[in-house]
């Protein structure tokens, strides 16, 4: 029996990859073949997953002999949110990187790092 969360994981992974492609300038529109290396799946499986995303409104298909897919506005928003959530630990500002001497990342010292909580940078 398949894990019921697989569809959600696959959707999130595809949205993140498509969002990343856009951000890196690798393409606003991709083919299933373009994603094989990143997903470790065969072209047909990726095609079916992209078709499901199209039915859900996250991507649009250009059709044609080789289907190409691009994120809709909704897909960009959701892909960006999922990408930010997934990589928050790698993309967030590290403790002490703020140059404002009054900011909590400067004044709270190691406690700010130990709490690992987001803080507002004070002007």
Quick: pLDDT tens for 75-115: 999 998 888 888 776 666 555 566 666 666 666 665 665 55
pLDDT at 66 over 80: yes
- Domains in the chain and their CATH numbers? 6-90 (1.10.10.10), 94-123 (no CATH)
What are the residues facing 30 on neighbouring strands?
69
Binning pLDDT at 50, 70 and 90, where does residue 122 land?
Answer: very low
pLDDT computed for residue 64 by the predictor: 78
Quick: pLDDT tens for 55-65.
999 999 987 78
Residue 4, phi then psi, degrees to nearest 5: -65, -20
In this prediction, residues 32-58 reach a mean pLDDT of: 92
DSSP 8-state secondary structure symbol assigned to residue 60: E
């Amino acid at each position: 029996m398949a894990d019921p969360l697989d569809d959600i994981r696959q959707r999130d992974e595809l949205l993140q990859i498509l969002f990343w492609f856009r951000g890196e300038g690798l393409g606003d529109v991709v083919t299933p073949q373009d994603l094989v290396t990143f997903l470790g799946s065969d072209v047909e499986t990726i095609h079916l997953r992209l078709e499901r995303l199209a039915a859900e409104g996250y991507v649009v298909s250009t059709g044609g002999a080789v289907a190409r897919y691009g994120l809709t506005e909704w897909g960009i928003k959701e892909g960006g949110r999922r990408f930010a959530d997934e990589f928050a630990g790698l993309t967030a500002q590290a403790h002490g990187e703020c140059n404002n001497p009054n900011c909590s990342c400067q004044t709270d010292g190691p406690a700010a790092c130990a709490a690992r909580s987001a803080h507002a940078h004070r002007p």
